[in-house]
Structure 1
């Protein structure tokens, strides 16, 4: 681990489980919030062209030895106030950053960290400034962090623009979630994010496939990466692989490709259950070289 500030911080952490942040026997850092023990899991984000590993998205879970903990937001978000939700949101980003960058296989990969919906309107100050200072203190490279803003309804358009401008002024790259392809075009033009994420829909692959291709071309002109999320079925994965033949860059993530785990995987490997599909979709030149 090359991050001197992070190494010093990890060495100073108390081992008592009553502390807000504490290490486990396997090196994982856990967090305490109310009576819940929180942990980090990371799901790979892969290139749609060759399945190479580009980044990870972090998720918070209740602590589990086998990484099968529950989504903590489902347990706590309705029971907590706005202030408590903002506190939990910030705690999770710190927890994820520590658990990600303490692992050697994190080198040269990006980390996607979510911003909870309540933070959009609950914080009146300078979004991102506090997290920027934390990263600097831990010597964690801010350029490797992508902050994900949540999907919005039309009445929140002003909020997403305000928060995005604040994070951008504080030096963060931004990912936005689009609820449909029409909103994707709007966000791409109006907010100009670094990354745009949307959920794959069968209608997108069939009747409206040309819209998706147009979106990929527009995003490429603006140096914006499109990520198709929740690719949870092999049929969806296989359909998306067809787009790689058009040389239109995009990325994918989902349980059909990789499940979320606490430990990062070998960045050079391709999931074994996808190798056959990948080879069958390759051109003769790609397959033999």
Structure 2
């Protein structure tokens, strides 16, 4: 089934009791995409690709043209990034003290990114980060609200990967509960490892769909080979994130790393949440 267009989704959102008060079609340089207004802050969407470099049998290099994304293999999906106003580094989430407002802003940003992703008929998976405080503010049935919103708008939760922060992954019991809850409501789940050793306990309490690890930290601690091998035994795809330069990309390829993402692949990186 073809997803509704961005204008169709925004039009439908006008009747939603919460989203209708915040989401609209952008104008000028943001024409044709959805934007959101929350208090005095304007939110927009950007997407960072996650590449499957294992789809190419020859060595990759960034030296010729980092802009040529198609050279790096297939796209597993996109990591949604929240742009604020004029794309400065101001983080609205860090300014919020009340849990109720944090929940509203987090839910608003996820709906916004879903509208712009599905409405543009993008392929692959949409990775959405969840704020750590939101996980603590919502006491149970994590994923129920967002799943119901997506289904109401004709969007497929199974193409969305809920990305859990390091703090959640560090607590095995909590990780197990969150993973099962989100998967119950149709989502896939990725967990960010707080450290390489944490991968040893990932399968004990939760069967994650993806594991993510900071590329710089893994290379600094010389654990890339260990992580790739253990993730292979678990049969859970391992994504190395925050690849910042060509040197890191080249170093990762020495260990048969398959999935990568980071600002090095973006010719026009944007400040994001």
TM over 0.5, shorter chain: yes
Q: Which residue of 1 aligns with 2:252?
A: 240
Q: C-alpha displacement at 1:166, in angstroms?
A: 1.1
Report the count of equivalent residues: 245
Q: Which residue of 2 aligns with 1:253?
A: 261
Q: Which residue of 2 aligns with 1:57?
A: 79
Task: State whether structure 2 residue 108 is matched by structure 1 residue 86.
Answer: no
Deviation track 1:159-195 (CA, whole Å, cap 9, x = no partner) reads 3322222112112110000011101222244312000
Q: In structure 2, how many angstroms separate the alpha carbons of the residues matched to 1:19 and 1:171?
A: 27
Structure 2 unaligned segments of length 5 or more: list them: 15-19, 57-71
Cα RMSD between the aligned structures? 2.7
Rate the CA distance shift 1:130–1:5 in 2: closer, same or farther, 3 A.
farther
Larger radius of gyration: 1
Structure 1 unaligned segments of length 5 or more: list them: 263-289
Q: Which moved more, 1:51-60 or 1:78-87?
A: 78-87
Task: State whether structure 2 residue 95 is matched by structure 1 residue 70.
Answer: no
Deviation track 1:8-55 (CA, whole Å, cap 9, x = no partner) reads 4333566xxx94111012212111112101111100000132322110
Q: In structure 2, how many angstroms separate the alpha carbons of the residues matched to 1:256 and 1:63?
A: 23
Rate the CA distance shift 1:37–1:60 in 2: closer, same or farther, 3 A.
same
Deviation track 1:82-115 (CA, whole Å, cap 9, x = no partner) reads 12111111111100000111113x03x1100111
TM score, norm. by length of structure 1: 0.76
Contact 1:48 1:240 in 2 (8 A): no
Q: Which residue of 2 aligns with 1:32?
A: 37
Rate the CA distance shift 1:137–1:241 in 2: closer, same or farther, 3 A.
same
TM score, norm. by length of structure 2: 0.80
Q: In structure 2, how many angstroms separate the alpha carbons of the residues matched to 1:238 and 1:155?
A: 29
Contact 1:219 1:226 in 2 (8 A): no
Contact 2:33 2:116 in 1 (8 A): yes
